[in-house]
Structure 1
Amino acid sequence: MKPNLLFILHVSPPVNGAAMVGDYISKSPIINRTYDIDYINLTTSFTLDKIGKGGIGKIQGTFKIQSKVLRALLSNRYELCYMTLTARGAGFYKDFFVVLLLKLFGKKIIYHFHNKGVQENSKKWYNHLLYRITFHNTQSILLAPTLYKDIERYVEKDKVHFCPNGIPDLMGKTLVKIEKTKKAEICQFLFLSNMMEEKGVFELLKACKILKAKKTAFQCHFIGAWSDISERSFMDLVDQYDLTNNILVHGKKYDAEKIQFFKNADIFILPTFYHNECFPLVLLEAMQHALPIISTKEGAISEMVVDGVTGVVITQKNTQELADRMEMLMNDPDLREKMGAAGRKRYEKLFTLTVFENKLKSILTDAIDKV
């Protein structure tokens, strides 16, 4: 008989890293044929602009989640409860009441973190108390060893598992990226994320301004949903920096349309300083398409992008350094190709969805057996 598990996790919408991984897990043939699983959606924000905000709808959604968890616990004897716990903020307080239910029923719990903030948030005495209750006699899954420092105050290392995320391989076993329809005469930069200030959108614009002043030929494509940056404020800066011919804005793109932008790009850029950034899946997509990457020292990015090998890891908010690295890769096609190929190999070895599924399966089985 297969072990009976309860999964309390985020699924899309909205489309973000945790929800995408939740979708992969809920549809995983490897996970679902190994265990009997009941799934409960932990999401109360169904659009990006609602994340981190309150409201009557969210309160009602929270009670519905708690009710579903209670009914599930009353109806089944689960050998393990898996939960994608929010590390801080209103999301943590909402999740804490679900945790209390699981603990009230004496369930074995394993948390899967797709964000961070425990270390910073625990400076307040009441949060420290809540974390002590939350982590007592539980296990945790982290995306990379770098992130352990966030919870080390509460969780011994022998109760922590490391499981990097993975994404479906859209290119089969091909080492080099799918051929572009035609090699562009000028360098094509690509930014793909939500249009948030903390994703480094304005820093990238300023870096483009520096490159434009050097009379270099390039185009930089921005793809993503408008968030705390409005289209008007963004385009005003584009005009102010005289970048109308260099900056192209495409809004949200999915599936085949998104893939085409990866195929046409030469360099991928994510200059993020987002406080919740842990393991951006979009970097795996860039590696999958054999693109060299320019990103920052945030979360586990340094464990995803090998500095000087698969891309360049720069200091956050350093516009001049960003411009310099963009110019360096722009002027060295051979280095771009070498880094892109190395990134593709790294993706195939560590970050495919199959690797992720098998690793998670191993962790869950180990967690069930642990006392």
Structure 2
Amino acid sequence: MKVLIIGPLKEPITGVSVSNDLIQKKLNTDFINTSLPFFEENVGRFSLNKIFLNISFYLRSHKILRTDILYVTPGQSFFGVVKYLPYILLGKILKKQIVLHLHGNALLKTYSLLRGFKKNIFEYTLKKCSKGIVLSKSLKKNLIPFLLPENIFSISNFVESKFVLSHEELEDKPKNELNILYLSNLMTEKGIFVFLKAISNLRSKGVDYKCKLGGDIDDSIRDKVLKEIEKDESMEYMGVVRNKEKRALLKWGKVFVFPSIQTEGLPISILEAMGAGNHVISTRQDALLDLFSEHQISYVNKQSPEEISNLIISNSFDDCRVFENHSLISEKFTETEFVNQILNVFKKN
């Protein structure tokens, strides 16, 4: 069984690229890397530069001839989906199995807002796929208009083993230090300005804390974000963190905040934070609500910096849940479990 991954790999680092990198490594697959060599805030924005880059990617379509399965990980915007149509059409003509893996929860909304030709070509692209994978049961709704229900599978994300702390490391984490962590791309839609406002609230109330932020920043908001961070001596921007540096940051943290104001899938960063013994504060997302109770994650409303800062000030986190969440991640959200489930989908008739 030969598999060809068609989607973003390596950098810029996203949940999709991390997932694709793991599958490529574990299954030793060939791939067509559709990553763009730059990071930007509006990932679904159309540009001529993107058109020319994607045309260059199409030149690698000959790889489809030598594979059995096309594993496609598209975006959720109109362009993010239809740019995969040439690969999917060629795969269909050559009678390949085409497995689409959706890493998000906004596809149905995109589809509902389209009209005329754009809606038809969007639907046509997705209906040519053989099977679909989503991140949790509630997210199956995104593929129901395009695939038969029995061909839609739910597979949760995973945590790379190198980021999961040992029980000894968990015990050694400082208990009395308020270390606040933001570890995601610093984007408006990811709630970076909501987070900065919440930290500002803590500062104005005299709370003793330290805060570190890791992730890429789009050039269009870089100056504004860095200016806010520089106002606070207790805040530090770490840049894009990887491997040992990222592990150390996760180990350092006590409270992990994910204030995204957009519709998300199942953020790998939240799973990583739980595996490293952090209390998690997050906006409500369908996949998270499918998998984790309010005892496991402290949920807040979107655009609610006051809720975030009040939760941190109240310090009402149950330390027992740190160990319970760590055990859950260690047992059920592993790389091996993820890859095995992907393989099971490939093998299903």
Say whether the fold is shared (TM-score over 0.5). yes
Tell me the residue number matched to 2:156. Answer: 164
Residue pairs, 1:30-179, within 5 angstroms:
31-32=27-28, 37-43=29-35, 45-49=36-40, 51-69=43-61, 71-73=62-64, 75-76=65-66, 78-123=67-112, 124-125=114-115, 126-136=117-127, 138-170=130-162, 174-175=166-167, 177-178=169-170
Tell me the residue number matched to 2:273. Answer: 286
CA distance in 2, matches of 1:266, 1:154: 42
Give the partner amino acid of 2:244.
A
Tell me the C-alpha RMSD between the 2 structures: 2.5
CA distance in 2, matches of 1:356, 1:211: 38
Tell me the residue number matched to 2:233. Answer: 245
Deviations 1:96-141 (A, max 9, x none): 2322222233332110111343212223233432243223362101
Structure 2 CA distance for partners of 1:7 and 1:245, relative to 1, 3 Å? closer
CA distance in 2, matches of 1:171, 1:233: 31
Give the partner amino acid of 1:87.
Q
CA distance in 2, matches of 1:18, 1:356: 13
How far the C-alpha of 1:228 sits from its partner, in A, is 5.5
> Secondary structure of 1:361's partner?
helix
* Counterpart check, 1:348 vs 2:330: yes
Deviations 1:294-331 (A, max 9, x none): 011135232354322x2211111112211222223xx3
CA distance in 2, matches of 1:56, 1:349: 45
Larger radius of gyration: 1
Deviations 1:35-75 (A, max 9, x none): xx4322233x1221384455555333322332322x234x4
Residue pairs, 1:22-33, within 5 angstroms:
22-28=20-26, 31-32=27-28
Tell me the residue number matched to 1:327. Answer: 313
Give the partner amino acid of 1:261.
L
Tell me the residue number matched to 1:221. Answer: 212
Structure 2 CA distance for partners of 1:97 and 1:214, relative to 1, 3 Å? same
Structure 2 CA distance for partners of 1:6 and 1:324, relative to 1, 3 Å? same
Equivalent pairs, count: 345
* Counterpart check, 1:266 vs 2:254: yes
How far the C-alpha of 1:179 sits from its partner, in A, is 5.4
Tell me the residue number matched to 1:11. Answer: 9
CA distance in 2, matches of 1:207, 1:193: 16
Give the partner amino acid of 1:347.
I
Unpaired runs of at least 5, structure 1: none
Q: Is the 8 A contact 2:216 2:240 kept in 1?
A: yes
> Secondary structure of 2:147's partner?
coil
Q: Is the 8 A contact 1:302 1:313 kept in 2?
A: no
Q: Is the 8 A contact 2:163 2:272 kept in 1?
A: no
> Secondary structure of 1:49's partner?
coil
CA distance in 1, matches of 2:277, 2:131: 35
Q: Is the 8 A contact 1:195 1:229 kept in 2?
A: no
Give the partner amino acid of 1:141.
I
Structure 2 CA distance for partners of 1:6 and 1:179, relative to 1, 3 Å? same
Q: Is the 8 A contact 1:286 1:293 kept in 2?
A: yes
How far the C-alpha of 1:247 sits from its partner, in A, is 2.2
Unpaired runs of at least 5, structure 2: none
Match of 2:191 among 178, 193, 200: 200
With normalisation by structure 1, the TM-score equals 0.84
Structure 2 CA distance for partners of 1:83 and 1:268, relative to 1, 3 Å? same
Tell me the residue number matched to 2:223. Answer: 232
CA distance in 1, matches of 2:304, 2:221: 23
